[in-house]
Chain A
């Protein structure tokens, strides 16, 4: 079945450092891809998404490009802030699922940014 693999971390960076969190996927169909973020004590929030190959999702300085040829959706940010400290989840829409509305998540990557 479909699956998502992401680096588990933790990732520890200094403020203003460049961030990359790798995410690769396996899917039999053509999924939509998502990055969700979970701040301490809160539920998950959508950070960005891409629905077809070569789409770039972006939000709050974060970017990710849907790369069909490498089956990847890496998350990047040019300059992280302390407030970006959170757990980041890569996810795809399950193509084997009839309605396609279930999400398959990676294990999550913990990011810690220090000032």
Chain B
């Protein structure tokens, strides 16, 4: 069974640009979550999508947005990039019935550098 796939793995942008990251969950998983990982703040929850609807949202500004498609693939977008947005963005999926006790399956991440 293929794991969670994230693209691109690495990218470099400049301040003010926007970026879109893609995530393909494990087949059959309908929940997709996004996390930001930085050396200073650690891992922080961005949002979660389930059946094309945003179910939860973390404490990030509106420049961070996401969506989920009918095939459960998800994208996240960051507009008007700032230097502080440089981070590893991790996508994770879980089965629909996992709930709060279920395991998250993480991808290898997309490393964004903002210059």
Contact = CB atoms under 8 A, between A and B. Distances in A.
B43 A105 contact: yes
A91 B105 CA distance: 14
Nearest to A45: B106
A101 B90 contact: no
B43 to A, nearest CB: 4
Contact of A102 (B42, B56, B102, B107): B56
Contact of B45 (A41, A103, A106): A103
A101 B42 contact: no
Contacts of A104: 45
Main secondary structure of the interface of A (DSSP, over half): loop
Contacts, number: 66
Interface string A60-89: 000000000000000000000000000001
B28 interface: no
A91 B43 CA distance: 10
B63 interface: no
Interface of A: 31-32, 36, 41-46, 49, 51, 89, 91, 93-94, 97-108
Given A93-B101, A101-B56, 5 more contacts: A36-B106, A101-B94, A101-B99, A103-B35, A103-B43
Interface of B: 4, 31, 33, 35, 42-45, 48, 50, 55-56, 58, 90, 92, 94, 98-109
